[in-house]
Structure 1
Amino acid sequence: MYRVVICEDDDLQRKKLKELIYKSFEAISNNIEILEFKSGEELLEQCLEGIDIFFLDIQMDKLTGMDVAKIIRDKNLTTEIIFITSVVEFIQEGYKVRAYRYLLKPIKYEELKEHIISCVSDIIKKRENFMIVEGKGTINKILINSIAYIEVQKKNITIHTVDNIYYARNSISNLEKELKMYNFFRCHRCYLINMEYIEFICKNVVTVNSEDIPVSKHRVSDLKTKLTKVVGSIIC
């Protein structure tokens, strides 16, 4: 089952988008539920657990799609957000809420289908990708996408997820190799960060999930280059 939300204040645009989403999913799954909302206020009144993709119109009265996205991100860090817009000036803000894509109006079927297929593929990866972490007398199964960063202090590994902390018996070098394909970056000899949780970079400090983490001087340029590729794959 895939659960999709459309929040669009224009009735005709919302109806057309719904039709195109159903059509795009024909090549993926018939098991899809689409929930429709005319405003951000109406959407936020609902309990929206287990939503896979939010399609949010940016330019709405009162609460904009960007406002709604920020509230969604406070509650859910793994759902995908696709913005619908007539302008491109919000891309930088979209990065802050880790938007998956921007779709420019009028929506084109082939473009929408391409983005949905890519998005669903990433959703499947997130559902399946766990790592087993062995600590002192404990074994934990951790969703890789939930890991914000990993640090090592005096050979002690601490894994910081978005809602928990785990201690592991491993080396940061081994974890770096294991997580490289999932957009993790060794920004410092003591830190391995998930680039999808980067909020800000300033000189030799990177903010990841509201935590300031040092970046080695010789790794700053490489981090910015790789981050650009990751951001491009998410919102371009």
Structure 2
Amino acid sequence: MYRIVVCDDNDIQAKKLCEDIRKSLEEVTNQVEIFKFNSGEDLLEAELMDIDIFFLDIQMDKITGMDVAKEIRKDNDKSEIIFVTALTEYVREGYKVRAYRYLLKPIKFEELKENILSCIEDIIKRHKNFMIIENKEKTYKIIIGSIKYIEVRKKELTLHTTEDSYKTKNSLENIELELKKYNFFRCHKGYLINMEHIDCISKKFVTIDGEEIPVSRHRMATLKKN
């Protein structure tokens, strides 16, 4: 399921863009959910989660599309942002919010299709570096590279990432198998560490972001070789 936002204060243009987005994606998926907004204020108040692509009109009343993008980027670096505008003067500013593309109005269907399919392809590639974690209340999509280490206690896993910690019911063996190709190492029966986040190695521990993680004696030699 792809979740897409269209935000344009011209309702006719917003509806047309929504229709064209659906048509553009017909050949790759029919699992699309599109949210339409006619102001940046309404979009920000909605506090939507797990959006794949934002289509933002730059020139809107009160809050511009660029301002909306800056707010989005404060706590969301995962979603793609595509600006729609009649002007090219904002291109340089768009680098600050990591804009994926600029589409000039009036938007030609073939141009939209080419860019959104390219964007979806990039999202698919990037999602291969995500893992899905579920607990009783929520489902999380976690960037694998952000995982510092994983520990197991009483059959419950805790994934410690650069942003937060997430608990889930699973076995460390299953997670180890899933993360094997991403440079993770089983340093202890109760710990799986991301080698990319190791700050230093001592006789019995590795230090990751100021925390000491135990390393089994028989695993230390293998760890140092890696």
TM range, smaller chain: 0.5 to 0.7
Residue 113 (structure 1) shift: 0.5
| Equivalent residues of 1:132, 1:139 under 8 A apart | no
State the match for 1:126 in structure 2.
126
Alignment of 1:93-132 (within 5 A): 93-129=93-129, 130=144, 131-132=182-183
SS at match of 1:48: coil
Residue 41 (structure 1) shift: 0.2
61-70 or 131-140: which moved more? 131-140
Alignment of 1:1-236 (within 5 A): 1-129=1-129, 130=144, 131-134=182-185, 136-137=187-188, 138-140=191-193
SS at match of 1:77: coil
C-alpha distance in 2 between matches for 1:86 and 1:73: 23
| Equivalent residues of 1:55, 1:84 under 8 A apart | yes
C-alpha distance in 2 between matches for 1:117 and 1:136: 41
Deviations 1:9-36 (A, max 9, x none): 0111111111110110111101111100
C-alpha distance in 1 between matches for 2:23 and 2:212: 42
- RCO (CA 8 Å, sep 6+): is it higher in 1 or 2? 1
Mark the runs of 5 or more structure 2 residues left unpaired by the alignment.
130-143, 145-181, 214-222
Residue 170 (structure 1) shift: 7.5
Between Structure 1 and Structure 2, whose CA radius of gyration is higher? 2
| Equivalent residues of 1:8, 1:57 under 8 A apart | yes
User: Residues 30, 154 of structure 1: CA spacing in aligned structure 2 closer, same or farther, 3 A cutoff?
Assistant: closer
C-alpha distance in 1 between matches for 2:212 and 2:4: 32
User: Residues 158, 128 of structure 1: CA spacing in aligned structure 2 closer, same or farther, 3 A cutoff?
Assistant: farther
User: Residues 115, 170 of structure 1: CA spacing in aligned structure 2 closer, same or farther, 3 A cutoff?
Assistant: farther
- TM-score between the two structures when normalised by the length of structure 1: 0.60
User: Residues 102, 155 of structure 1: CA spacing in aligned structure 2 closer, same or farther, 3 A cutoff?
Assistant: farther
SS at match of 2:67: helix
User: Residues 127, 62 of structure 1: CA spacing in aligned structure 2 closer, same or farther, 3 A cutoff?
Assistant: same
State the match for 1:199 in structure 2.
none
C-alpha distance in 2 between matches for 1:135 and 1:87: 53
| Equivalent residues of 1:5, 1:54 under 8 A apart | yes
C-alpha distance in 2 between matches for 1:52 and 1:166: 36
Residue 134 (structure 1) shift: 2.3
Mark the runs of 5 or more structure 1 residues left unpaired by the alignment.
143-149, 175-236
User: Residues 153, 82 of structure 1: CA spacing in aligned structure 2 closer, same or farther, 3 A cutoff?
Assistant: same
Residue 133 (structure 1) shift: 2.2
Deviations 1:100-147 (A, max 9, x none): 1110000011111011111111111111125242274332579xxxxx
Aligned letter for 2:62? K
Aligned letter for 1:34? I
Count of residue pairs brought into register by the alignment:
160
